[in-house]
Amino acid sequence: MQRYENKVAIITGGGGAIGGAIARRLSSEGAAVAVLDQLGDQAERMATELETGGGKAIAVTADITDKPAVEAGVAATLEAYGRIDLLVNNAGYTKSGSIDDLDPDEFNKELNINLTGSYICAAAVLPSMIEAGRGAIVNIGSVNGRVAVGNPAYSAAKAGLYSLTQSLATEYGPKGVRTNMVSPGTIETDIYTWRVRREKNPEIFDVLARWYPVGRVGQPEDVAPAVAFLGADEAGFVNGANLMVDGGLTCGLAPMIEEMILE
């Protein structure tokens, strides 16, 4: 199956765990990949890994909140491969676990990276997609955008990202550009908040597993196939969707059901 033969994808945060899994997946399906990350060495490492595996890849060092840097990264991708078929808005960040931890600067920082940064990247790829009359954007949301599970500023940003997904889907669908969202539940990665929680409780992912109807938390490789589907031509009639990749977490309260069943 080579759904991405002759196609080009930009993956923001591509040097990280979920972004890396998405990069590997798209590359294995034939895509040339621009691995965009603010950490240049991580982007380089991932691009080298893809090339060593026989794929085509370039590394782009850019902060997604820096419009000129993002535009330069998009220009470099077009220069290298001549087209952009898919943008995966995956770069994300959160630090503050509760409202009490927040101040306006941190609140704005989390909004800026998770929401404004995704808008900046979308705006940067849209001209070439509109000109080509085709393209896809997949935004990485979170269960936090749907229900309150901590990290309130990040959650507000991810909820806003779904609104942005709907606006993009509606405004650019007629121009051939589809936009969808993938919203993962707990994914075992080293993103800041999980690193801190794991330091406090090394069993954190096992503890959280009981909330998940599938009996486990997710892995980065659980997210990648959903992104690959939404970005591919076969999803041509899927536009503005929010695909939960959360093992059923947000469809019910599994531990509550367990507690209600007394025999």
Of 55, 73, 92, 247, the residue at the interface with ligand NAD (CB under 6 A) is 92
Applying the rule CB under 6 A, the residues between 49 and 88 that interact with ligand NAD are 63-65
Residues with Cβ within 8 Å of 105's Cβ and at least 6 positions away in sequence, in order, are: none
Structure tokens at 119: 């808008």
Residues with Cβ within 8 Å of 224's Cβ and at least 6 positions away in sequence, in order, are: 18, 21, 22, 24, 25, 26
Nearest alpha carbon to residue 179 among 194, 193, 189, 164: 164
Of 42, 151, 165, 180, the residue at the interface with ligand NAD (CB under 6 A) is 42
Residue 226 contacts ligand NAD per CB under 6 A = no
Contact 40, 64 (CB under 8 A): no
| DSSP-derived 3-state class of residue 65 | coil
Q: Which residues pair with 8 in a beta bridge?
A: 32
Residue 16 contacts ligand NAD per CB under 6 A = yes
Residue 151 contacts ligand NAD per CB under 6 A = no
Of 47, 91, 136, 153, the residue at the interface with ligand NAD (CB under 6 A) is 91
| DSSP-derived 3-state class of residue 170 | helix
Residue 180 contacts ligand NAD per CB under 6 A = no
User: For this structure, is 158 an active site residue?
Assistant: yes
H/E element holding 150?
none
Catalytic residue selected from 4, 7, 81, 158: 158
Nearest residue to ligand NAD by CB is: 16
CA distance 238 to 242: 10
Please report, as a single letter, which amino acid is at residue 183. S
Structure tokens at 61: 């060092």
Nearest to ligand NAD of 18, 129 (CB atom): 18
SS3 content of the chain, % helix, strand, coil (to 5): 55, 15, 30
User: For this structure, is 175 an active site residue?
Assistant: no
Catalytic residue selected from 154, 162, 172, 212: 154
Applying the rule CB under 6 A, the residues between 130 and 149 that interact with ligand NAD are 140, 142
Residue 13 contacts ligand NAD per CB under 6 A = yes
Nearest to ligand NAD of 57, 91 (CB atom): 91
Nearest to ligand NAD of 135, 185 (CB atom): 185
Residue 184 contacts ligand NAD per CB under 6 A = yes
Interacting residues with ligand NAD (CB under 6 A) = 12-13, 15-19, 37-39, 42, 63-65, 90-93, 113, 117, 140, 142, 184, 186-187, 189-191, 194
Catalytically annotated residues: 154, 158
